[in-house]
Amino acid sequence: MGWLSPRRCKFQKSQTKPIIFSPEMASLYFLLLVTVNRTQLLASETCASPVTAVTTSSFILPSCGPGFFLSVLAAASLTVLLKLMFASSTTLILSPTAARSVMEKLQLGPEVLHKENPKLIYARLSGFGQSGKFAERAGHDINYLALSGVLSRLGRSGENPCAPVNLLADFGGGGLMCALGIVLALFERTRSGKGQVIDANMVEGAAYLSSFLWKTQGTGLWEKPRGQNLLDGGAPFYTTYRTADGEFMAVGAIEPQFYKLFIKGLGLKSDELPNQMSITDWPEMKKKFAEVFAKKTKAEWCQIFDDTDACVTPVLTFEEVTHHGHNKDRGSFITDLKLGTSPRPAPLLSNTPATPSSKRDPFVGEHSEEILKEFGFSQPEVDELMSDKIIESQKPMARL
Q: Is residue 400 part of a domain?
A: no
Type and span of the H or E element at 335? strand 333-336
Specify whether 91 is located in the same domain as 170: yes
> Residue 59: which CATH number?
3.40.50.10540
User: pLDDT by residue (tens digit) across 77-110?
Assistant: 777 777 776 665 555 555 554 456 667 777 778 8
Distance of alpha carbon 269 from alpha carbon 278, whole angstroms: 16
Type and span of the H or E element at 31? strand 29-36
The predicted pLDDT at position 122 comes to: 87
Choosing from 170, 232, 361, 367, the catalytic residue is: 170
Q: Is residue 364 part of a domain?
A: yes
Specify whether 66 is located in the same domain as 109: yes
Active site residue 141: no
Distance of alpha carbon 141 from alpha carbon 248, whole angstroms: 27
Distance of alpha carbon 204 from alpha carbon 177, whole angstroms: 10
Type and span of the H or E element at 250? strand 248-252
Choosing from 114, 140, 199, 324, the catalytic residue is: 140
Active site residue 388: no
Determine contact, residues 137/144, Cβ cutoff 8 Å.
no
Please compute the mean of the pLDDT values over residues 33-59 and round it to a whole number. 32
Q: Is residue 223 part of a domain?
A: no
Share of the chain above pLDDT 70, in %: 74
Q: Compute the mean pLDDT over every residue in the chain, rounded to the nearest whole number.
A: 79
Residue 73: pLDDT band (50, 70, 90) is low
Please compute the mean of the pLDDT values over residues 150-159 and round it to a whole number. 96
> Residue 310: which CATH number?
3.30.1540.10
Stronger pLDDT, 346 or 71, i.e. the higher one: 346
The predicted pLDDT at position 70 comes to: 64
Residue 235: pLDDT band (50, 70, 90) is very high
Reported pTM: 0.79
Specify whether 265 is located in the same domain as 130: no
Specify whether 62 is located in the same domain as 203: yes
Q: Characterise 162 by phi-psi region: left (phi > 0), alpha (psi -120 to 50), beta (else).
A: beta
Coil, strand or helix: which one is 187? helix
Alpha helices in the chain (DSSP H): 75-86, 99-105, 110-116, 141-148, 177-192, 202-209, 211-215, 256-266, 282-293, 298-305, 325-330, 368-374, 379-387
Distance of alpha carbon 306 from alpha carbon 166, whole angstroms: 31
Residue 3 has pLDDT above 60, yes or no: no
The residue range of the domain holding 295 is 238-336
User: pLDDT by residue (tens digit) across 338-348?
Assistant: 778 889 888 99
